[in-house]
């Protein structure tokens, strides 16, 4: 046996070399793909699941066949990391020619002058908007200017599990309903399915899209036209206390259960795990929800309030980089996606309901039952008198506000914060985030 | 007789010193030898400067700027550093991280030492057990394990099923309750005791058997043996493990990121410092603020490490200083 004989000096050396291995400041070093250098190669970036990538690749292929001189490379990522990736690429000095943009982020990129003003392409009909839904178009403008064409419009919706409703024996929900009716309907489901610990409603108090509808029904938008907070602390408090009453009665999922699904999107909903009969989301998510469960799902309108709350949300803007060398070709590609039957059919309803009338007509014969349900829902909401166009834009920082809502609503749900303290805290965080 | 890595280092440095003496006699050869050496080091230097030193220095500059990744950074002086102290979430993150470090590091070292003591006794199939206990250290920081952890500590997870079997009716979802979520991450960290355990085991096996024999003659029992012989002789290893584990725990990211789905929830209860840094930098685009946070973390780690080094003279026992 040899003896242990470490000297203090050796230990200092080893300890320091351990410290030298620190790489925590390397976080910013994440890699990114770069644009190809060939003369007619464009890059496209978008977010979404693998199924959307498949549809997008089909559209690209169809486009490349018509324009053999153009090659389009693309990358995609989940929404939660898409903008991180995009920003890292931009920080490294390159930018995709074609960028899928979200309404909550577009203002920031316009401010940084990364996006191309599309007005001239719209005027010379490279991008043909002659039969485009005017409301959807208007909702997508930034300071009255077109910086991206929406590939699909969506309405906020509720989705429910028809077999759970049947098991509960509560009958189908009415075509339209108030928040109170929704609460008592959800409660009757919770009561009927108590033995299976299924709740009628999820706790949606942390969902910014539902909160926005609540706010609009109370007479304001989320934001003022100059990008400040427009809702009041009282409105936040009323929202929290509505959900508090649902939690207390057992109509919606308790805090712990709701906290057990993390992240966003259909796969992290209580509907998908069979713990709740309802979910809230965008109408284009309907088929993704349906893919996750064997139970047939149905669409249902969002509860109504004193004023119209819902609106046709322009989603998945297709923007062109201000620095793109192939702006004209990029515009041609956008036009291909929104008006050319080949492009329209390739991407389908996956990104929402197309704005162009031609596109909708071209899609008609190809629709599957889930798609038809989405279109029927959109038609129902559009004619319900419960919609009003949204003319304000999400200011830079709006993303942080949605995180703040989900965190504060959770604190309230767990009883870590009172309703009034939570309302104050969320309001202040929102003011700070967009200042 | 097997030699420890440390002895190897010692021998090597002794040889290196005598090499140097030889080389001093022949300066030309010395220079030539150095050039070759640096040539071989070149790939490592490139990595070091481009991927480590460069970003570190850049982050120091960025920490004094307002930088959103897309636009150009603009100089704002100390504002990022001052803003931190008024940011309630930053304080949440500091509190969560300190609790995590203070709980997970001592517990992990204790478990590692305990298992090392058991394995030292010479079980049948020692190598097998060593491997088994080391496996969590290899798997522990992976995404799969973090996901598995959610399942184990969920309301119908393994923990509650076991509790139900022994008659305790438990429906708590440990990962989704703000009061317990952090402790599940502490358990996850303690479970990965393999690396410190191996280091302890190596140290234990080098304690001369004569000491124990002498102690036995004097009538010392196992507890007395442990506190009077074993523990003092391995304090250098305790110190070494403490530093490494502490530095690692301060920078823990994956468990909280995966188990909380990137939110640090429920209700900020698992908002590790590095996770908040990531959120601020990449989700909220406050890269300047995030850089400042990284520097504060670096200073904090340096402070705690220095503290450990300063106190070490009172509790770390080196054999060569016995006189």
Cβ distance A25 to B261 less than 8 Å, yes or no, reads: no
> Above 70 in pLDDT, residue B9?
no
**What pLDDT sits at residue B14?**
59
Among chain B residues, CA nearest to A18:
B244
State the nearest Cα–Cα gap between A341 and chain B, in angstroms. 36
Predicted confidence (pLDDT) per residue in A299-345, tens digit: 999 999 999 999 999 989 999 999 999 999 999 999 999 999 999 99
First-to-final CA distance of chain A: 68
- CB-based contact, B302 to chain A, within 8 Å: yes
State the nearest Cα–Cα gap between A202 and chain B, in angstroms. 15
Predicted confidence (pLDDT) per residue in B58-68, tens digit: 999 999 999 98
Residues in chain A closer than 8 A to B297 (CB atoms): 24
Higher pLDDT, A161 or B21: A161
In CATH, the number for domain B83-321 is 1.10.3720.10
Domains A41-153+314-379 and A156-310+397-434 share a fold: yes
Question: Residue A343: which of A44, A62, A127 has the closest Cα?
Answer: A62
**What pLDDT sits at residue B23?**
52
Question: Residue B281: which of B59, B95, B77, B107 has the closest Cα?
Answer: B59
Mean pLDDT, residues B103-107: 96
CB-based burial of residue B44 (10 Å sphere; 0-12 exposed, 13-18 middle, 19+ buried)?
exposed
- CB-based contact, B102 to chain A, within 8 Å: no
Residues in chain A closer than 8 A to B231 (CB atoms): none
Closest in B59, B267, B301 to A416, CB measured = B267
- CB-based contact, A92 to chain B, within 8 Å: no
Quote the CA–CA distance of B281 and B94 in Å, as a whole number.
Answer: 17
- What DSSP assignment string belongs to A234-286? HHHHHHHHHHHHHHHHTSB--HHHHHTS-SSSGGGSTTTTTSBSEEEEEGGGH
Residue to test with chain B: of A6, A319, A406, A418, most B Cβ within 10 A: A6
Predicted confidence (pLDDT) per residue in A18-36, tens digit: 444 443 333 333 333 334 4
Mean pLDDT, residues B279-293: 90
Neighbours of A180 (CB within 10 A): 11
> Above 50 in pLDDT, residue B2?
no
Residue to test with chain A: of B56, B282, B300, most A Cβ within 10 A: B282
> Above 60 in pLDDT, residue B312?
yes
Phi and psi at residue A265, in whole multiples of 5°?
95, 170
DSSP H/E element including B271: none
**What pLDDT sits at residue B321?**
57
Q: Which residue ranges make up each domain of chain B?
A: 83-321
Omega before B266 cis (within 30°)? yes
Predicted confidence (pLDDT) per residue in B220-273, tens digit: 888 899 998 999 999 999 999 999 999 999 999 988 888 887 788 788 899 999
Torsion from C-alpha of B213, B215, B216, B219, nearest 10 degrees:
170
**What pLDDT sits at residue A7?**
54
**What pLDDT sits at residue A10?**
54
CA neighbours within 13 Å on the CB side: how many for A328?
A: 3
**What residues of chain B, 244 to 283, have a C-beta less than 8 Å from chain A?**
244, 247, 251, 260-263, 265-268, 274, 277-279, 281-283
Q: Which residue ranges make up each domain of chain A?
A: 41-153+314-379, 156-310+397-434
Architecture per CATH, A41-153+314-379: 3-Layer(aba) Sandwich (3.40)
Neighbours of A247 (CB within 10 A): 21
Quote the CA–CA distance of A223 and A234 in Å, as a whole number.
Answer: 16
**What pLDDT sits at residue B136?**
85
- CB-based contact, B206 to chain A, within 8 Å: yes
**What pLDDT sits at residue A39?**
66
Average pLDDT over all residues of chain B: 86
* CB-defined contacts A:B, below 8 A: 170
Quote the CA–CA distance of B145 and A76 in Å, as a whole number.
Answer: 26
> Above 80 in pLDDT, residue B46?
yes
**What pLDDT sits at residue A180?**
96
Residues in chain A closer than 8 A to B173 (CB atoms): 256-257, 259-260
- CB-based contact, A17 to chain B, within 8 Å: no
Predicted confidence (pLDDT) per residue in B121-159, tens digit: 777 777 888 888 888 888 866 778 878 888 899 888 899
**What pLDDT sits at residue A37?**
42
Q: In which residue ranges of chain A is pLDDT below 70? A: 1-39, 263-264
> Above 90 in pLDDT, residue B92?
yes
Quote the CA–CA distance of A239 and A232 in Å, as a whole number.
Answer: 11
Asked if residues A186 and A199 have their Cβ atoms less than 8 Å apart, the reply is yes
Q: The pTM is what?
A: 0.80
Name the token pair of B292. 């400042």
Residues in chain B closer than 8 A to A93 (CB atoms): none
Asked if residues A83 and A396 have their Cβ atoms less than 8 Å apart, the reply is no
State the nearest Cα–Cα gap between A412 and chain B, in angstroms. 9
CA distances in angstroms from A115 to A96, A125, A318, B176, listed in the order given: 11, 19, 10, 41
- CB-based contact, A50 to chain B, within 8 Å: no
CATH class of A156-310+397-434: alpha beta
- CB-based contact, A34 to chain B, within 8 Å: no
């Amino acid at each position: 046996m040899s003896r242990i004989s470490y000297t203090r000096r050796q230990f200092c050396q080893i300890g320091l070399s351990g410290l030298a291995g620190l790489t925590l400041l390397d976080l910013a070093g994440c890699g990114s793909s770069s644009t190809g250098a060939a003369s007619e190669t464009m890059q496209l970036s978008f977010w979404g699941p693998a199924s959307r990538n498949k549809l997008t690749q089909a559209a690209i292929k169809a486009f490349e066949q018509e324009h053999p001189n153009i090659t389009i490379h693309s990358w995609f990522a989940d929404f939660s990391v898409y903008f991180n990736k995009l920003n890292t690429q931009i920080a490294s000095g390159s930018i995709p020619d074609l960028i899928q943009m979200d309404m909550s982020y577009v203002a920031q990129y316009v401010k940084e002058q990364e996006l191309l003003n599309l007005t001239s392409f719209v005027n010379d009909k490279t991008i043909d908007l002659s039969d485009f839904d005017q409301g959807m178009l208007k909702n997508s403008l930034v300071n009255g200017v077109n910086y991206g064409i929406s590939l699909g419009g969506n309405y906020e919706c509720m989705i429910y599990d028809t077999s759970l409703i049947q098991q509960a024996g509560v009958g189908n929900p009415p075509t339209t309903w108030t928040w109170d009716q929704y609460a008592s309907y959800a409660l009757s489901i919770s009561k009927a399915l108590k033995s299976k610990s299924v709740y009628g409603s999820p706790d949606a108090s942390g969902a910014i899209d539902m909160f926005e509808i609540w706010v609009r029904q109370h007479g304001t938008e989320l934001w003022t036209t100059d990008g400040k907070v427009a809702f009041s602390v009282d409105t936040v408090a009323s929202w929290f206390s509505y959900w508090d009453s649902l939690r207390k009665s057992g109509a919606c999922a308790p805090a712990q259960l709701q906290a057990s699904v993390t992240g966003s999107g259909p796969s992290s909903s209580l509907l998908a795990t069979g713990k709740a009969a309802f979910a809230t989301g965008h109408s284009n998510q309907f088929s993704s929800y349906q893919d996750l469960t064997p139970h047939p799902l149905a669409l249902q309108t969002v509860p109504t309030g004193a004023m119209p709350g819902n609106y046709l949300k322009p989603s998945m803007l297709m923007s062109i980089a201000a620095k793109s060398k192939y702006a004209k070709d990029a515009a041609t590609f956008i036009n291909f996606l929104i008006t050319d039957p080949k492009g329209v059919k390739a991407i389908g309803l996956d990104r929402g309901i197309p704005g162009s009338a031609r596109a909708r007509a071209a899609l008609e014969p190809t629709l599957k039952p889930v798609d038809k349900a989405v279109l029927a829902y959109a038609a129902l909401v559009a004619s319900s008198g419960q919609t009003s166009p949204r003319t304000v834009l999400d200011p830079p920082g709006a993303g942080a506000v949605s995180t703040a809502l989900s965190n504060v609503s959770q604190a309230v749900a767990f009883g870590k914060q009172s309703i009034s303290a939570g309302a104050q805290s969320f309001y202040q965080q929102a003011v700070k985030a967009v200042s | 007789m097997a030699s420890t890595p440390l002895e190897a280092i010692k021998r090597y440095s002794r040889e290196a010193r005598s090499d140097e003496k030889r080389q001093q006699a022949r300066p030309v050869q010395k220079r030539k030898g150095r050039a070759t050496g640096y040539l071989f080091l070149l790939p490592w230097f490139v990595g070091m400067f481009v991927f480590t030193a460069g970003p570190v220095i850049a982050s120091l500059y960025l920490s004094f700027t307002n930088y959103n990744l897309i636009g150009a950074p603009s100089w704002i002086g100390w504002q990022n550093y001052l803003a931190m102290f008024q940011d309630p979430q930053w304080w949440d993150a500091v509190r969560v991280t300190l609790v995590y470090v203070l709980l997970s590091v001592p517990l992990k070292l204790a478990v590692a030492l305990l298992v090392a003591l058991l394995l030292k006794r010479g079980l049948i199939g020692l190598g097998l057990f060593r491997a088994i206990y080391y496996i969590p250290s290899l798997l522990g920081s992976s995404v799969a394990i973090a996901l598995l952890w959610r399942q184990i500590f969920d309301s119908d997870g393994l923990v509650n099923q076991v509790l139900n079997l022994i008659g305790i009716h438990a429906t708590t979802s440990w990962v989704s309750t703000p009061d317990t979520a952090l402790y599940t991450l502490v358990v996850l960290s303690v479970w990965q005791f393999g690396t410190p355990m191996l280091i302890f085991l190596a140290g234990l096996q080098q304690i001369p058997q004569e000491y124990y024999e002498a102690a036995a003659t004097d009538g010392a029992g196992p507890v007395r043996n442990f506190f009077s012989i074993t523990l003092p002789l391995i304090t250098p290893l305790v110190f070494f493990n403490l530093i490494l584990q502490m530095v690692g725990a301060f920078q823990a990211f994956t468990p909280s990121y995966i188990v909380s789905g990137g939110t640090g929830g429920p209700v900020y209860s698992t908002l590790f410092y590095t996770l908040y840094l990531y959120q601020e930098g990449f989700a909220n685009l406050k890269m300047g603020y995030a850089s400042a946070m990284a520097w504060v973390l670096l200073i904090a780690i340096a402070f705690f490490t220095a503290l450990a080094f300063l106190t070490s003279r009172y509790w770390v026992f080196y054999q060569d200083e016995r006189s």
